[in-house]
Amino acid sequence: MTQKSKTRKMAQSRRAELIFYVTMIALPIMQFCIMYLGVNFNSVLLAFRKYDYQTGDYLWTGFTNFRTLFIDMKTSLRPAFLNSLKFYLCSLCMMPVSIIISNYLYKKKMGSGVFKVILFLPSIISGIVMTLTFQYFVEQVVPEVLGLVGVEIELGLLSNPDTAFSMLIVFSVWTGFGGGMLLYTGAMARIPIECVEAAQLDGITPLKELLYITLPLIYPTVSIFIITGIAGFFTNSGALYTFFGPRADASLWTYGYYFFTVTVNGAGAADYPYAAAGGLLFTLIAAPITLLVRWALEKYGPTTEY
Amino acid sequence: MIKRSTRIMVTALAGLMTLGSLAACGAGGNEDSANTVYIANYYGGLGDEWLYKAIDGFKAANPDVTMNFKIDNSKTEYKNLPATMATARQDVYVVESVPYIELVSKDMIADVTDVVTEKLTKYGEEVSILDKLGEGQAKEYFNIEDKYYAMPTYLAQAGFIYDVDLFEENELYMKEGGGWTATENRTVGQDGEANTQDDGLPVTYDDFFALLKRMRDYSLIPLTWMGLDQSYSNTFLYNMVADYEGYDNMLVQSTLSGTLNIDGVDTPIDNSNGYLLQKVKGKEYALQFARELLSNNANYLGSVGDVTYTHRSAQLDFLASRTDEKRIAMLLDGDWWETEARSDFDDLVVENDETWAYGTRRFAMMPIPKANDGSSASGRTALNSGSSTMIFINANTTKMEVAKRFFQYLHTEEALRIFTQYTGVTRPYDYDLTPEQRAELTYFQQSRFDFYQDNDTKIYYSISLNDMMDQNNTYYKSMVWSSDVNGTSYSYPFTAFLLHKDMTAKQYFDGLYDYHYTRWSRFDAQGWW
């Protein structure tokens, strides 16, 4: 075979590979362009429009949706801000607990296998089962038990708006624990055993090992949780829809829940521009804060490579 | 370099997956879809037996129609109709929660003006569908630039359903001249006429609470309702508002246009001061009623404050308490409840005997009590909780001619009767039942049919007839009972009163105004005035 024909065969082969590659990649790229870029671009435009029932068209309306949103944020959505903040702070507070328990599991201390099953169980069992179990427990079992000790309560803990939010946080922590621990224990499992053994030979205590070896080495995972938590501030629905559908009491709303119900259970086309304005505004707030926190965490946090 | 065999295999797999997903789009088995009219039906509490019977009736009356009809209950997310209808295979829709104006504005539903205005002579009737619907709010709502695109499906009201047998056994009817009775010498009731169904039943709020006291004295539990959410109780209270205010005043709630007496002064209402609607007396009276009802734990079953307590649980408790030490006298539910609870009746027959059967036990809905001072509007105004239930045709149907004929048939005297015969629920049209059909209805269903067909009953549809509210429909829904009390927002008076025994009706009532007054500037920002 001559050099020329060899080159031609290779070129043909490359072309065939290229066609194969393009064919395979075209669909996902197309989907990304339409379903992500297109949808988001349309949402940005929608934020400056309103739906006209007479013509069925979206008309330009400037910043009207934002003005409406600002008024709502000062009135109807005030509890939503506080509730979203509570959810975020709660997730931050639970992080150290999650890390400590993950460390316990990672170290395979006494009963860690049993704990692992108990703590992962909510992540394995179907969501609807978990929801119903929790619902019946706090609505029926708890009032019954309290009644036995002489404490009568009028409403179940979820039905009572005064206690419902705390129950939502408990549910959120309970069901979210497994996922967090899975990632932390995964990150801990990657820590080079030599590092730990060397430190143990030097007589390091378990607490110091956690603080000076484990934490710095799983720091990228921790920082991811902090960063995604900020991004989720405006989108966290906190299981409200799971328990109450679209009819949760206004005092329980979070931003995520409110905009979800406006979109899914609202007036349809007329509500989309308002929801789009909310999405755009929250992105404008959350994106720089997220980037800033990421930058700060990277700059001031421990640098580890292994 | 990728092996040729691998490439072929991957390509084949990708092709198969694509074909598979495309095939799913047209999943219809061996059905002759071109020759089948698909009907989307919201199964809900009414089921689909009536629709099968209506299809049979249509085919019998139209032997030239050779098409098949298939009911498809699978599309239950009717709130997403604007997103799904364009590609849906359904030709005719009988569904709930319909965003009517949006569907019309997007040309998604067919213009049926011709069939609703045409006299139904081919079915032996000298009136059109619109004639049977009559004048009023519904006709105005469905009329868009002199065209009609849908017709309402059914009427329903949330109210106190009482056990007639229990009332008689325990002498819970008011007696002429004072005291209580089972059947003899009852008071004439709200309608002022003897020998009608409301004889001996409470006329005023005070009468109603006197009845509750008597029930408590007899160790009965007066009421139960679902705790899953308080939507039924909200609708019931709004029903009280409608009955107090009367039809004409309630229209102002829909249109934000007209004059109402606010704080003793006749006040013109428009878009700029719509928040004043929260100050109507009817709301204050309804809240006072709710406050008093919920002030005494013995007035209701303990489960009503439990989100795991569903409407079906409440129905079963109400029915099954017959042999309990503490029987439940009344259930807060809607017209559909008896059909919805049909399986419970059957189960109870198996557990007990035939006297528990559906249609054997007698129930009825209590009239809304009137204000003690006589300030309630005269007559009866019923809030229709089936306001957004509609029948319409998909604009994209390829079987328009048959679809329109079927749509028209569904509004004939025969089909209207079939609907009531098999669901027990009344449709918002002027029609009657044959004696045989009436005999097939339960005691409860007969009484409801008579109530709606009575000329003294006016039906108020809780629907917006105002552009500003159409554009802000989510907010419009909050116009009913959202209130700010002591810095906390509430949407359900029953929840607030169950929880806070010290919260007064006045506080909740004032909070209604505060809630909307502070938020009304959002409409100014939108440039509505």
pLDDT by residue (tens digit) across B203-217? Answer: 999 999 999 999 999
Put simply, the answer to whether B522 touches A23 (Cβ < 8 Å) is: no
The mean per-residue pLDDT over the stretch A136-163 comes to 87
Inform me whether the pLDDT recorded for B22 exceeds 60: no
d(CA B459, CA B246): 10
Picking from B228, B526, B528 by the largest number of A CB atoms within 10 A of its own CB, the best residue to mutate is B526
pLDDT reported for residue B28: 47
CATH number among 3.20.20, 3.40.190, 3.30.70, 1.20.1550, domain B159-230+290-384: 3.40.190
Using the Cβ of B11 and the Cβ atoms of chain A, whether some distance falls under 8 Å is answered with yes
Put simply, the answer to whether A268 touches B99 (Cβ < 8 Å) is: yes
Per-residue confidence band for B266, with pLDDT thresholds at 50, 70 and 90: very high
pLDDT reported for residue A52: 84
d(CA B340, CA B312): 8
What's the pLDDT tens digit per position in B384-421? 987 788 999 999 999 999 999 999 999 999 999 999 99
Pairing of strands B92-95, B36-41: parallel
pLDDT reported for residue B79: 64
b/e burial code for range B96-113 (CB count within 10 A of at least 16 → b): bebbbbbbbbbebbbbbe
> In CATH terms, is domain B34-155+386-441 a member of 3.40.190.10?
yes
Cβ A172 vs Cβ A87: under 8 Å: yes
The mean per-residue pLDDT over the stretch B12-22 comes to 59
Put simply, the answer to whether A158 touches B229 (Cβ < 8 Å) is: no
Q: To the nearest whole angstrom, how far is the Cα of B14 from the nearest Cα of chain A?
A: 8
Put simply, the answer to whether A72 touches B522 (Cβ < 8 Å) is: yes
Binding-face residues of B in 284-343 toward A, CB within 8 A: 297, 305-308
Inform me whether the pLDDT recorded for B73 exceeds 80: no
Pairing of strands B457-461, B380-384: parallel
Using the Cβ of B387 and the Cβ atoms of chain A, whether some distance falls under 8 Å is answered with no
Per-residue confidence band for B447, with pLDDT thresholds at 50, 70 and 90: very high
Picking from B81, B230, B485, B522 by the largest number of A CB atoms within 10 A of its own CB, the best residue to mutate is B522
The mean per-residue pLDDT over the stretch A265-285 comes to 88
Q: Which whole-number Å values give the CA distances from B455 to B134, B379, B451, in the listed order?
A: 12, 9, 9
The residue with greater pLDDT, B19 or B469, is B469
The mean per-residue pLDDT over the stretch A173-177 comes to 86
> ipTM surpassing 0.85, yes or no?
no
Given this chain, do its domains B34-155+386-441 and B159-230+290-384 carry the same CATH topology? yes
**Judging by beta carbons within 10 Å of its beta carbon (0-12, 13-18, 19+), is residue B209 exposed, middle or buried?**
buried
Pairing of strands B147-148, A49-52: unpaired
Torsion from C-alpha of A89, A93, A96, A97, nearest 10 degrees: -130
pLDDT reported for residue B25: 46
Residue of B nearest to A259 (CA): B474
- Per CB-CB distance under 8 Å, the chain A contacts of B10 are 24
pLDDT reported for residue B19: 56
pTM: 0.84
pLDDT reported for residue B13: 67
Nearest to B493 by CA among B213, B288, B190: B288
Of the candidates B101, B499, B526, the beta carbon closest to that of A64 is on B526
d(CA A178, CA A188): 15
The mean per-residue pLDDT over the stretch A140-168 comes to 87
Domains of chain B, by residue range, sit at: 34-155+386-441, 159-230+290-384
**Which run of H or of E encompasses A58?**
strand A57-60
The residue with greater pLDDT, A94 or B388, is A94
The mean per-residue pLDDT over the stretch B354-370 comes to 95
Output the 3-class SS for B332-395: EECCCHHHHCHHHHHHHHHHCCHHHCCCCCCEEECCCCECCCCCCCCCEEEEECCCCCEEEEEC
A117-126, B60-69, B252-261, B327-336: range with lowest mean pLDDT: A117-126
Mean of the per-residue pLDDT values for chain B? 90
CB pairs under 8 A between A and B: 135
What's the pLDDT tens digit per position in B128-166? 999 999 988 889 999 999 999 999 999 999 999 999 999
Q: How far is CA B306 from the centre of its chain?
A: 23
Binding-face residues of A in 26-65 toward B, CB within 8 A: 50-56, 64
pLDDT reported for residue B24: 46
For the beta carbon of residue B374, count every other beta carbon within 10 angstroms: 8
- Per CB-CB distance under 8 Å, the chain B contacts of A18 are none
Picking from A160, A249, A253 by the largest number of B CB atoms within 10 A of its own CB, the best residue to mutate is A249
pLDDT reported for residue B27: 44
% chain A with pLDDT above 90: 47
d(CA A287, CA B509): 42
Nearest to B95 by CA among B69, B68, B73, B70: B73
Inform me whether the pLDDT recorded for A274 exceeds 60: yes
Picking from A134, A154, A165 by the largest number of B CB atoms within 10 A of its own CB, the best residue to mutate is A154
Per-residue confidence band for B20, with pLDDT thresholds at 50, 70 and 90: low
pLDDT reported for residue B26: 45
Largest alpha-carbon pair distance within chain A?
98
Of the candidates A67, A243, A271, the beta carbon closest to that of B525 is on A67
**Token couple for A31:** 């989907």
* Count of alpha carbons within 13 angstroms of residue A233, beta-carbon side: 20
pLDDT reported for residue B265: 94
Cβ B461 vs Cβ B384: under 8 Å: yes
Residue B151, classed as helix, strand or coil, is: strand
For the beta carbon of residue A25, count every other beta carbon within 10 angstroms: 10
Tell the CATH superfamily of the A67-300 domain: MetI-like (1.10.3720.10)
Amino acid at A118: I
Q: Which whole-number Å values give the CA distances from A133 to A128, A130, A171, A252, in the listed order?
A: 8, 5, 11, 21
Nearest to B40 by CA among B89, B86, B108: B89
Cβ B58 vs Cβ B411: under 8 Å: no
Q: Name the β-bridge partners of B72.
A: B40
Mention every residue, 6+ apart, whose C-beta is less than 8 A from residue B269.
B252, B256, B257, B258, B259, B260, B276, B277
